[in-house]
Amino acid sequence: MTVDVLKANELKKAAPVFGQLSFDDHEQVVFCNDKDTGLKAIIGIHNTVLGPALGGTRMWNYSSEWDALNDVLRLSRGMTFKSAVTGLNLGGGKAVIIGDAKTQKTPELMRRFGEFVHSLSGKYITAEDVGMETADMDTVREVTPYVTGISEDKGGAGNPSPVTAYGVYMGMKAAAKFRFGSENLQGRSVLVQGIGHVGESLVDYLTKEGAKVFISDINEARLQQIQERYRAEIFTGDIYSAKVDIYAPCALGATINDETIERFQAKVIAGAANNQLADDTRHGLILRKKEIVYAPDFLINAGGIINVYAELEGYGRKEIMEKTENIYNTTLEILNAAEANDISTHEAALKVAQQRIADRKNRR
Ligand code: NAD
């Protein structure tokens, strides 16, 4: 074991929660255990200054409980800033269930999890994330009202992915306006990495506008399907050195990292994936130096949370789309602020979110 690993292990033992690398003044962390259903879950409540902590539940076969804890701390913090920068009256929270969603998820386990959510009396409101389906949220709804993303026939706002894609499209147009002087994407080359729920919808918007769309995915069947459906071109070769105008990461996080960052030739990065920068501060600054305009992920992928927020506030489709469309204005403001202050676009977005939270706290 290296010295660093030994030190990290010592720290974990000495300060198992507050000493975690991802701990950032979280308000509350709740460990949920139920022997009968096999439930082991952690709910992370990062900040509730702006409102109840809303964020999805992820079920994942974590390699260790430390990984699960760090994930929930990191993800819940991200939700605080996503909602704050979007102007929603929501705080940041997230939950993780430790286990394999394919083999260990049962209605009993989901109901028991829902009871733990309910015990927080609305301080945390859950939703769908990786490993969860709308049907699971319907099960949670049986035991608590503190859940969003339930089926439309049960009063929910339905599938958030098309709304997320619309927000990404708006953010991309704002970044294009900033970088190329025009928001028009006709003739612009865009490489969409990951053509799942969000990626496909984004491809739809882009092809309708006349962009030259390239697609990439690890799922071959999906690639063929989307190629035929939208006449997009399958991209082969190294994604990161692709000579395209815009790179749209819509698969995994951390694709902008030490190994890839120097290879980028795209002039704009705008996609749906969460946590695109492996190191927010360092990689954000390198992109700035390379004059690559990065539309912060947590700002432009907020369509999904706007969609579930509608369930709480009781507004309809028209308002959801208007609020999502506003991502265009917010993105442009943040890109301009980053330029004016010579900081990364990620930092500029974070500052806006932090300021909104500080203002609300001061007004209390
Ligand atoms: P999804 O699972 O439907 O699609 C992901 C796609 O990426 C799949 O087609 C998968 O085959 C592909 N993929 C996985 N690894 C890949 C790789 N290495 N290279 C290329 N393709 C790869 O997920 P989604 O709901 O479309 O979400 C996409 C991203 O956006 C995720 O990072 C998600 O966290 C984020 N996001 C989604 C929403 C939403 O509303 N769905 C909201 C905010 C953020």
Instruction: Work out the percent of the chain whose per-residue pLDDT is above 90.
Output: 88
Taking a C-beta distance cutoff of 8 angstroms, is the pair 293, 335 a contact?
A: yes
Per-residue model confidence (pLDDT) at position 276: 96
Three-state DSSP state, 234: strand
Question: In CATH, what number does 25-75+94-154 get?
Answer: 3.40.50.10860
Q: How far is the CA of 196 from the centre of ligand 1 (A)?
A: 5
Per-residue model confidence (pLDDT) at position 166: 98
Residue 1 has pLDDT above 60, yes or no: no
Per-residue model confidence (pLDDT) at position 18: 86
| Alpha carbon separation from 60 to 41, 64, 109, 244 (Å, rounded) | 10, 11, 14, 34
Instruction: Report the alpha-carbon distance of residue 54 to residue 311 in Å, rounded.
Output: 12
User: Which residue's alpha carbon is nearest to atom 40 within ligand 1?
Assistant: 161
Instruction: Report the alpha-carbon distance of residue 269 to residue 289 in Å, rounded.
Output: 14
Least confidently predicted of 19-28, 58-67, 271-280: 19-28
Task: For residue 216, count CB atoms less than 10 angstroms from its CB and return exposed for 0-12, middle for 13-18, buried for 19 or more.
Answer: buried
Report the Cα–Cα distance between both ends of the chain, in Å, rounded. Answer: 49
Domain-wise residue ranges, the chain: 25-75+94-154, 161-356
Span 94-126, pLDDT tens digits: 999 999 999 999 999 999 999 999 999 999 999
Per-residue model confidence (pLDDT) at position 8: 66
Mutational test site, ligand 1, from 161, 204, 240, 320, max ligand atoms within 8 Å of CB:
161
Residue indicated by tokens 């927010």? 280
Average pLDDT over residues 65-70: 93
| Alpha carbon separation from 59 to 44, 249, 275 (Å, rounded) | 14, 22, 18
* Residue 289 pLDDT grade (very low, low, confident, very high; cuts 50, 70, 90): very high
- Copy the structure tokens of residue 161: 């992915």
- What DSSP assignment string belongs to 119-133? HTTTSEEB-B-TT--
- How far does CA 344 lie from the centroid of its chain? 19
Report for 11-15, 151-155, 205-209: range of highest mean pLDDT: 205-209
pTM of the predicted structure, to 2 decimals: 0.92
User: Which residue's alpha carbon is nearest to atom 43 within ligand 1?
Assistant: 301
For residue 222, give every residue at least 6 positions away whose Cβ sits within 8 Å of its Cβ, in sequence order, or none.
195, 196
Instruction: Report the alpha-carbon distance of residue 290 to residue 119 in Å, rounded.
Output: 49
Q: Catalytic residue positions? A: 94
User: Which residue's alpha carbon is nearest to atom 18 within ligand 1?
Assistant: 218
Q: How far is the CA of 171 from the centre of ligand 1 (A)?
A: 17
25-75+94-154 matches 161-356 in fold: yes
For residue 87, give every residue at least 6 positions away whose Cβ sits within 8 Å of its Cβ, in sequence order, or none.
323, 326, 330, 356
* Residue 250 beta carbon below 6 angstroms from any ligand 1 atom: yes
Question: In CATH, what number does 161-356 get?
Answer: 3.40.50.720
Residue 16 has pLDDT above 90, yes or no: no
Per-residue model confidence (pLDDT) at position 12: 61
Angle, CA 345 vertex, CA 89 and CA 283 arms, to 5°: 120
Residue indicated by tokens 């609020």? 323
Q: How far is the CA of 199 from the centre of ligand 1 (A)?
A: 7
Per-residue model confidence (pLDDT) at position 52: 98
Span 322-347, pLDDT tens digits: 999 999 999 999 999 999 999 999 99
Span 218-269, pLDDT tens digits: 999 999 999 999 999 999 999 999 999 999 999 988 999 999 999 999 999 9
Mutational test site, ligand 1, from 192, 214, 217, max ligand atoms within 8 Å of CB:
217
* Residue 79 beta carbon below 6 angstroms from any ligand 1 atom: no
Mutational test site, ligand 1, from 83, 170, 198, max ligand atoms within 8 Å of CB:
198
